[in-house]
Amino acid sequence: MNSIALPLAGQRALVTGASSGIGEAIAQALAAAGAKLLVNYLHDEAEAQRVVRAIREGGGEAVAVRADVSVEADVESMFAVMQKAFGGIDVLVNNAGLQQDAALVDMTLDEWNKVISVNLTGHFLCAREAARAFVRQGPIDGLSCAAGKIIFVSSVHDIIPWAGHANYAASKGGIMMLMKTLAQELARSRIRVNAISPGAIRTPINRSAWETPEALARLLELIPYGRIGEPEDIGRAAVWLASDASDYMTGATLYVDGGMTLYPGFEAGG
Ligand code: BGC
């Protein structure tokens, strides 16, 4: 078991969609906890390199790798780079995801397929590669109690229905059963599989929900704790789930949402 100061010392982590937003904060937090990082990105190499530089300046190790998580060959070659750069993998954070919002009656099949293929199929492809590597390597003495950890970044919309976002909500509901099924399937190989379901976190994906005072006020009506989440709130949860501090936890979802899933509409009603 590693020290509390650097709970991930020596561990090797791959974070998908790590060039901005929640993925970036998770990569930074894991690196600060002692992990070596593969920073995956799709479009913005300059931003991914910025994240890599920041990790190196903090004394950590990191590489940036371009891969579309919904493309099997891209995922396989990204894991091959991981193996080559760090000799293995201990933590996968399935974070890459997107929204393509439309009312059901206007939603195109392309919009449906795009969101499902990145948010759900992409998570399956990466989890499969990570599990293969974890099973091959088994638990490593002095590194971690587990052979490996998979963390899915889902959403409160794995249980809160979301009108106008059928593709996104369906992908997140799917992640919940993917996560639980993999947790059940992999536990005997000492692989832990958990999810973080963030609420409203200040990132580019939901800019329109927080960038004006009026929008922010409307958003805060949905958050009993009275503030928007920051990406670092999710980074800290990811460090805990990746570390041996959560060693007895598998198949669970941490809702990091300021109470958004507590039915705030019932505070003074019902
Ligand atoms: C979505 C955000 C939204 C939040 C809370 C997230 O999963 O990506 O756009 O603000 O859920 O509704």
In the prediction, which pLDDT does 5 show?
80
Per-residue pLDDT, 269:
86
Provide the Cα torsion 203, 17, 143, 198; round to 10°.
40
Instruction: Name the closest-CA residue to atom 3, ligand 1.
Output: 200
Structural domains of the chain in order of their starting residue, each with its CATH number: 12-258 (3.40.50.720)
Q: How far apart are alpha carbons 173 and 185 in whole angstroms?
A: 19
- Please tell me the distance between residue 155's alpha carbon and the centre of ligand 1 in angstroms: 7
Q: Which atom of ligand 1 lies nearest, measured to the CA of 197?
A: 7
Regarding beta strands 36-41 and 91-94, do their DSSP bridges make them parallel or antiparallel, or are they unpaired? unpaired
What are the tokens at 206?
């939901």
C-alpha 173 to ligand 1 mean position (Å) = 14
With H, G, I as helix, E, B as strand and everything else as coil, classify residue 16. Answer: coil
Supply 105's token pair.
Answer: 């009656």
Q: Are 200 and 219 in contact (CB under 8 A)?
A: yes
> Residue 62 forms beta bridges with which residues?
37
- Concerning whether 168 is annotated as a catalytic residue, the answer is yes
Q: Which pTM value belongs to this model?
A: 0.97
Q: Rounded to a whole number, what is the distance in angstroms from the first to the last CA of the chain?
A: 48
Q: Check pocket membership of 156 for ligand 1, CB cut-off 6 A.
A: yes
CB distance 155 to ligand 1 below 6 Å: yes
Report mean pLDDT in 10-residue bins for the chain, 270 residues. Answer: 78 98 98 98 98 98 98 98 98 98 98 98 99 97 97 98 98 98 98 98 96 97 98 98 98 98 93
